[in-house]
Amino acid sequence: MNNPRVVRSWYMYDWANSVYSLVITSAIFPVYYKAVAQNNGSDVVNFLGFSIQNSVLYSYSLSFSFLVVAAILPLLSGMADYTGRKKMFMKIFVTIGGLSCMGLYFFNNISMLEWGIFCSVMASIGFSGSLVFYNAFLPEIVTEDRYDAVSARGYSMGYYGSVILLVICLGIIMNFSFFQFETKGIATRFTFLLTGIWWIGFSMIPFSILPETRAMKDRTNKIWSKGYEEIVKVWHSLKDLPELKKYLLAFFCFNTGVQATMYLAVLFGTDVLKLDDSKLIPTVLLIQLVGAFGAWLFARFSQNQGNKISLMTMIGIWIGICISAYFVANEYHFYALAFVVGMVMGGIQSLSRATYSKLIPENTIDTTSYFSFFDVTYNLSIVVGTFSFGLINQITGSMRNSALSLAIYFIAGMLILLTVKAKDITEPSLKK
Instruction: Give me the pLDDT at residue 415, please.
Output: 96
**Of the listed ranges 69-78, 79-88, 317-326, the one predicted with least confidence:** 79-88
Inform me whether the pLDDT recorded for 190 exceeds 90: yes
Instruction: Give me the pLDDT at residue 372, please.
Output: 76
With cut-offs at 50, 70 and 90, classify the pLDDT of residue 366: low
With cut-offs at 50, 70 and 90, classify the pLDDT of residue 17: very high
With cut-offs at 50, 70 and 90, classify the pLDDT of residue 81: low
CATH of domain 4-41+51-208+238-431: 1.20.1250.20
Instruction: Give me the pLDDT at residue 64, please.
Output: 94
220-248: average pLDDT:
81
Task: Between 247 and 282, name the one with better pLDDT.
Answer: 247
Task: Between 290 and 278, name the one with better pLDDT.
Answer: 290
Inform me whether the pLDDT recorded for 220 exceeds 60: no
Q: Averaging pLDDT over each range in 40-54, 105-119, 156-170, which range is the top one?
A: 105-119
**Of the listed ranges 10-14, 251-255, 286-290, the one predicted with least confidence:** 286-290
Inform me whether the pLDDT recorded for 76 exceeds 70: yes
281-309: average pLDDT:
81
Do 104 and 192 contact (CB within 8 A), yes or no? Answer: yes
